[in-house]
A = this chain, B = another copy of it.
Amino acid sequence: MKLAQTSTGFIVSHKNRTVLEHSEVSPALYLGIGQGTFDMYRGNFDISDYLSERLPLKKYSISENSDDIVVTFFVDGDAALEVRLFETAETRLKAEFKTLDDQYNRFWIRVAATENEAVFGCGEQLSYLNLRGKNFPLWSSEPGVGRNKSTYTTWQADVKDKAGGDYYTTNYPQPTFVSDKKYFCHLQTTAYADFDFSHAEYHELQCWNIPDYLLFDAEESFPELMTNITDVFGRQPALPDWIYNGVILGIQGGTEITLDKVSVAREAGIEVAGAWCQDWQGIKMTSFGKRLQWDWQWNANLYPDLDSKIHQMKEDGVRFLGYINPYVLEDFPLYEEAFEKGYLATKEDGSKYVVDFGEFYCGVVDFTNPEACEWYKGVIRANMIDFGLDGWMGDFGEYLPTDCSLHNCVSAEIEHNKWPYRWAKVQHEAIAEAGKTDDILFFMRAGATGMQGYCHALWAGDQSVIWEIDDGLASVIPAALSAGLMGNGISHSDIGGYTTLHGNKRSKELFQRWAEMAAFTPIMRSHEGNRPTDNHQFDTDSETMAHLARMTKIYKHLKPYIKAAVEENANKGMPVQRPLFMHYEQDSQAYQIQYQYLFGRDLMVAPVYNQGETVKELYLPEDEWVHVWSGETFTGGWINVDAPIGQPPVFYRKQSQDALLLAEIKNI
């Protein structure tokens, strides 16, 4: 860390990157007073701020000490904010903030930028990989349906359910970004935040409290930067070995249907790793479609004999996965128990607080209460792990209402963005304490700073079952890449998408294109969607099954390659799906491409995400790339390749140590 005093201010730099530039004319910090409103409608938020003050911190004094530098900023002659700058033991730059006047609840810091700088991250971002030119509100919420105000889907979702979303809506926001200058910058806060990358000379990071600190570090290469980042936020464990055996089939409807569908799939040659039955605890019907009975115990009516069948399936090589989330259904047994024990969030006056999830109401398990966490871990252990589940979707985490009261007495506005972290930790610990971390898979869509060490895998949330660029097959690519840069290197998505609303129905072509992409992600898993009968399914026709069979065989064939990449993620924080610039940092194009990715080090994947497209235009950075289907070699640049159904545009590096394995893909 270096501090240089200038005639009118100072400059803080770290490892040759300028971090803060302060002068009276262009201050690096602002404090303010705002009054926010958070209107929540089923996980969709309408957030606004009445900002009454925004004050530039122009005047300051500096004291340089042996191990830190303290800058005190003044407002109207009074000390208002103290910033303690120092280098951590790991040689990161840390700037700790301490307010000296507690009326301030808005904070802005400007991190030095250059005009053409590209930045990435901010959690899981589905519309943009390079975030430059826009601002990104950071608040965990439903991801939005359509996520683009110009689409019919979004308009309908907005009008009917306030659920359309926008380019920035995400289950997983994180106040951290990565720059093409090979640095990362993290603002430690769980308050509502908004990172604005639209200014030429600075990135302006806003949050609705005084953040604990800003953390900044840089490396010589992106891979090293990933290790650094995951040293800070944690790393995902490696996946259980059984994952690589094939697809996890999303099935609903009971024991018999599950066994039948698995059997049909296997007969068709589909490699099946597991059956994921989200309705294992029963269902309820709503106008949205099939919803689940949120009481987190085996439903013997819908799944008779599952207590024995689950073990038979396992012996037969098919794992059984279920579903849970951090809410308990009103008037059902778990709710009653939690309510009596005081394990649920309450209204301010201590009375009952339930959340509307769409025609049913739930209590929120209060994870700020260690006893509530232990209790929920016990539910997971007894009802799920000990019952024999091999994994589950750990759904939700974004619905903490801002007006509920919590055990730790921290404002729910501050806890809201932390909730997914708490939820991940509960699940991880339940599994770890059962000694099953290497055998049970759970996956989440919600995310938060620090969940990297707890959440075993992300899934990209609930895409619409059509070809929308901001809420479909395409959008899960930047989602995986941005989340990967935050240290969540294992991501995947529902094959075929999920949200079947507003007339959208999943077509055969979409299912197939999605399956083709999924074969080149760390986990293959299908979903029937919220209205299964409206959607094309894996078993709708034999052609679809034959196609899926081939994709699962390719995936299974790649096991050693994928497993090595997953290990690298577990050990070094290197994401399995990587943006092109990760390994081609000299290539300026590589920073702009968001619908292609490197799968591991040696595979380039350019999924077909447009309906009817059979010739794919794609970009290859300078290298020797072999098209897996034709065997043709390319050395880089923009090219067109044939991409009929069954031949997704995939290339491997000729120099790969796994070239033999990868060359065999075409024979499967």
A284 at interface by CB-CB < 8 Å: no
Distance A199 CA – B53 CA, assembled complex (angstroms) = 16
Contact between chains at A32 and B54 (CB < 8 Å): yes
Distance A53 CA – B155 CA, assembled complex (angstroms) = 35
Q: Which residue of B lies closest to A55 (CB)?
A: B55
Chain B residues near A30: list those with CB within 8 A: 52-53
Chain B residues near A149: list those with CB within 8 A: 158
Chain B residues near A158: list those with CB within 8 A: 149-150
Chain B residues near A56: list those with CB within 8 A: 52-53
Which residues of A from 587 to 640 have beta carbons under 8 Å from B?
none
A503 at interface by CB-CB < 8 Å: no
Q: Which residue of B lies closest to A196 (CB)?
A: B50
Chain B residues near A435: list those with CB within 8 A: none
Chain B residues near A77: list those with CB within 8 A: 76-77
A159 at interface by CB-CB < 8 Å: yes
Closest approach, in angstroms, between the C-beta of A8 and any C-beta of chain B? 15
A257 at interface by CB-CB < 8 Å: no
Per the CB 8 Å criterion, the residue count for chain A at the interface is 21
A645 at interface by CB-CB < 8 Å: no
Closest approach, in angstroms, between the C-beta of A399 and any C-beta of chain B? 24
A51 at interface by CB-CB < 8 Å: yes
Distance A155 CA – B159 CA, assembled complex (angstroms) = 10
Distance A76 CA – B57 CA, assembled complex (angstroms) = 11
Closest approach, in angstroms, between the C-beta of A637 and any C-beta of chain B? 35
Per-position contact with B for A56-76: 1 when CB-CB < 8 Å, else 0? 101100000000000000011
Chain B residues near A54: list those with CB within 8 A: 32, 51-55
Chain B residues near A150: list those with CB within 8 A: 158-159
Q: Which residue of B lies closest to A75 (CB)?
A: B76
Copies per complex of this chain: 2
Q: Which residue of B lies closest to A58 (CB)?
A: B76
Chain B residues near A159: list those with CB within 8 A: 150
Distance A329 CA – B197 CA, assembled complex (angstroms) = 41
Distance A659 CA – B52 CA, assembled complex (angstroms) = 55
Chain B residues near A32: list those with CB within 8 A: 54
Chain B residues near A55: list those with CB within 8 A: 53-55
Closest approach, in angstroms, between the C-beta of A28 and any C-beta of chain B? 12
Distance A59 CA – B152 CA, assembled complex (angstroms) = 52
Contact between chains at A51 and B51 (CB < 8 Å): yes
Contacting residue for A155 out of B75, B76, B155, B199, CB 8 A? B155
Closest approach, in angstroms, between the C-beta of A259 and any C-beta of chain B? 46
Q: Which residue of B lies closest to A54 (CB)?
A: B54
Which residues of A from 142 to 169 have beta carbons under 8 Å from B?
149-150, 152, 155, 158-159
Q: Which residue of B lies closest to A35 (CB)?
A: B199
Distance A412 CA – B584 CA, assembled complex (angstroms) = 47
Distance A75 CA – B59 CA, assembled complex (angstroms) = 13
Q: Which residue of B lies closest to A160 (CB)?
A: B150
Query: Which of A52, A58, A77 has the most CB atoms of chain B within a 10 A radius of its CB?
Result: A52
Chain B residues near A59: list those with CB within 8 A: 76
Per-position contact with B for A342-373: 1 when CB-CB < 8 Å, else 0? 00000000000000000000000000000000
Q: Which residue of B lies closest to A108 (CB)?
A: B52
Which residues of A from 76 to 119 have beta carbons under 8 Å from B?
76-77
Distance A76 CA – B56 CA, assembled complex (angstroms) = 11
Chain B residues near A155: list those with CB within 8 A: 152, 155
Distance A199 CA – B50 CA, assembled complex (angstroms) = 10
Distance A150 CA – B75 CA, assembled complex (angstroms) = 44
Q: Which residue of B lies closest to A155 (CB)?
A: B155
Chain B residues near A75: list those with CB within 8 A: 76
Distance A75 CA – B155 CA, assembled complex (angstroms) = 46
Per-position contact with B for A279-305: 1 when CB-CB < 8 Å, else 0? 000000000000000000000000000
Distance A55 CA – B77 CA, assembled complex (angstroms) = 14
Chain B residues near A58: list those with CB within 8 A: 76
Closest approach, in angstroms, between the C-beta of A468 and any C-beta of chain B? 14
Distance A51 CA – B30 CA, assembled complex (angstroms) = 11
Per-position contact with B for A14-40: 1 when CB-CB < 8 Å, else 0? 000000000000000010100000000
Distance A56 CA – B33 CA, assembled complex (angstroms) = 11
Query: Which of A50, A59, A77 has the most CB atoms of chain B within a 10 A radius of its CB?
Result: A50
Distance A30 CA – B150 CA, assembled complex (angstroms) = 37
Chain B residues near A50: list those with CB within 8 A: 199
Distance A249 CA – B50 CA, assembled complex (angstroms) = 49
Chain B residues near A51: list those with CB within 8 A: 51, 54
Distance A59 CA – B75 CA, assembled complex (angstroms) = 13
Which residues of A from 173 to 230 have beta carbons under 8 Å from B?
199
Closest approach, in angstroms, between the C-beta of A456 and any C-beta of chain B? 40
Closest approach, in angstroms, between the C-beta of A72 and any C-beta of chain B? 16
Closest approach, in angstroms, between the C-beta of A199 and any C-beta of chain B? 8
Closest approach, in angstroms, between the C-beta of A376 and any C-beta of chain B? 39
Per-position contact with B for A116-158: 1 when CB-CB < 8 Å, else 0? 0000000000000000000000000000000001101001001
Closest approach, in angstroms, between the C-beta of A166 and any C-beta of chain B? 13
Distance A152 CA – B158 CA, assembled complex (angstroms) = 12
Distance A217 CA – B105 CA, assembled complex (angstroms) = 38
Closest approach, in angstroms, between the C-beta of A203 and any C-beta of chain B? 13
Distance A11 CA – B451 CA, assembled complex (angstroms) = 53
Q: Which residue of B lies closest to A76 (CB)?
A: B76
Distance A361 CA – B75 CA, assembled complex (angstroms) = 51
Distance A76 CA – B152 CA, assembled complex (angstroms) = 51
Closest approach, in angstroms, between the C-beta of A145 and any C-beta of chain B? 15
Chain B residues near A76: list those with CB within 8 A: 58-59, 75-77
Listed by A's residue number, 25 A-B pairs whose Cβ atoms lie within 8 Å are A30-B52, A30-B53, A32-B54, A50-B199, A51-B51, A51-B54, A52-B54, A52-B56, A53-B54, A53-B55, A53-B56, A54-B54, A54-B55, A55-B55, A58-B76, A59-B76, A75-B76, A76-B76, A76-B77, A77-B77, A149-B158, A150-B158, A150-B159, A152-B155, A155-B155
Q: A53-B55, A75-B76 are known; give 8 further A-B pairs, CB within 8 A.
A: A30-B52, A32-B54, A51-B54, A52-B54, A53-B56, A76-B76, A76-B77, A150-B159
The 7 closest A-B pairs by CB, nearest first: A54-B54, A155-B155, A150-B159, A76-B76, A53-B56, A53-B54, A55-B55
